[in-house]
Amino acid sequence: MGAMRRPTMTDVAREVGVTAKTVSRVLNDGPVAVETRERVLAAVRKLGYQPNLMARNMRVGARDAAIGLVIPEMGNPFFGTVAGGVESAVRARGLTLIVGSSDEAAGLEQSLIATFLARRVSALMVVPAASSDHRHLRSERVAGLPIVFLDRPSAGLRADCVVSANREGSRTGVAHLIVHGHRRIGFVGDVPASLYTRRERLQGYRDALDGAGLPYDRALVETGHDVEAAARATMRLLSLADPPTALFAGNNLASMGAVVALSRAGRKDVAVVGFDDLPLAEALDPPLTVVAQDPAAVGAAAAEMVLRRLDGDRSRARRTTVPTRLIARGSGELPPR
């Protein structure tokens, strides 16, 4: 018994002695005699028949009951949680979510989007890669395909988008450090500098400094995309001639890097506030104060938006902002020095 062809409707039909159309009707709840229906179903089970969704979708011209989501990295729990939020919302409607990772590269993102489109997904959700451009999606939008961007807005395309309150959240976090007496506050941010979230959060940092009449010192702004790079960035800040007494970390990896670096350096006196919560934040010494995002809520909000669009909502593109929340645990309340 070699590798055999997957059975088709016609095979099932032949087995029962009817036409493919009758099988089709059985499977689509059309009008079929009870007895026939049962024989067809029996044959379906016997042959292990599974309808070919591709052929079906092609015929009915419908889009696929799947929604494509593109995220920059699979391994980063932030995006994983976002995807989880999207999935539960989407699943509740009987739709399937298929996820792919762009590896933060515009080229991969575009080809991933192309394969999703070629698969005729019924909607597209995208966390844009750092330097991507979405002009190429204009024709899709015109053709009525719902497209929603998450965490970062689109470039070159008016479209729905759901983001965290980056600037406001950062301002609050940095202001918190200022209230506790800090005047030199380092910023450990994501890379590249052009990244939307990084720009917004840096802007919030500057807002807070401005609000307190403190100067903006470029020497206090460092960068690193992964944990180790962020740790090195932190070390550079600490070894400045006039080092910061507090750090603001611009995302989860930067927070980890800062925490790791301080721990290696044995510095428990440096105040830290991180953007985005960490699962072990409370177990650190001192426990980490954070500006918590709600990644699952970002995903869920974006999914709701997509579902509304699928239901025919044709209103203007809207930007939704998911609030952040300051959670004071200790590291952000340390006094200077």
Which residues lie near DNA (CB under 7 A)?
5, 8-10, 17-22, 24-25, 27-28, 30-36, 51-52, 55-56, 58-61
Q: Which of residues 217-236 bind a second copy (CB under 8 A)?
A: 227
Using the minimum distance from each CB to DNA, give the nearer residue, 33 or 241. 33
Site string for a second copy, 269-308 (x = CB under 8 A): ---------xxx-xxxx-x--------x------------
Cβ(234)–Cβ(223) under 8 Å? no
In whole angstroms, how close is the CB of 107 to DNA at the nearest point?
A: 23
Residues 29-48 that bind a second copy (CB under 8 A): 48
Q: CB of 309: closest distance to a second copy in angstroms?
A: 12
202 vs 230, beta carbon nearer a second copy: 230
| Amino acid type, 69 | L
User: What is the C-alpha to C-alpha distance for residues 317 and 148, in angstroms, rounded to an integer?
Assistant: 9
Q: Which does 280 bind (CB under 5 to 8 A by kind): DNA, a second copy, none?
A: a second copy
- The encoded tokens of residue 24 equal 């089709």
Helix axes 20-27, 34-47, angle to 10 degrees: 90
**Window contacting a second copy (CB under 8 A); options: 36-44, 96-104, 215-223, 320-328:** 96-104
For residue 334, the one-letter residue type is L
Least CB distance from residue 87 to a second copy, whole Å? 6
Instruction: Choose the contact partner of 101 out of a second copy, DNA, none; CB within 5 to 8 A by kind.
Output: a second copy
**What, of a second copy, DNA, none, does residue 30 touch, CB below 5 to 8 Å by kind?**
DNA
Q: Which stretch binds a second copy (CB under 8 A): 186-194, 215-223, 254-262, 316-324?
A: 254-262
Give the relative orientation of helices 295-310 and 77-91 as an angle to the nearest 10 degrees. 40
Q: Which residues bind a second copy (CB under 8 A)?
A: 1, 3-6, 48, 50-55, 57-58, 64-66, 73-77, 79-81, 83-84, 87-88, 91, 96-101, 103, 108, 112, 114-115, 117-120, 139, 142-144, 227, 256, 259-260, 262-264, 278-280, 282-285, 287, 296
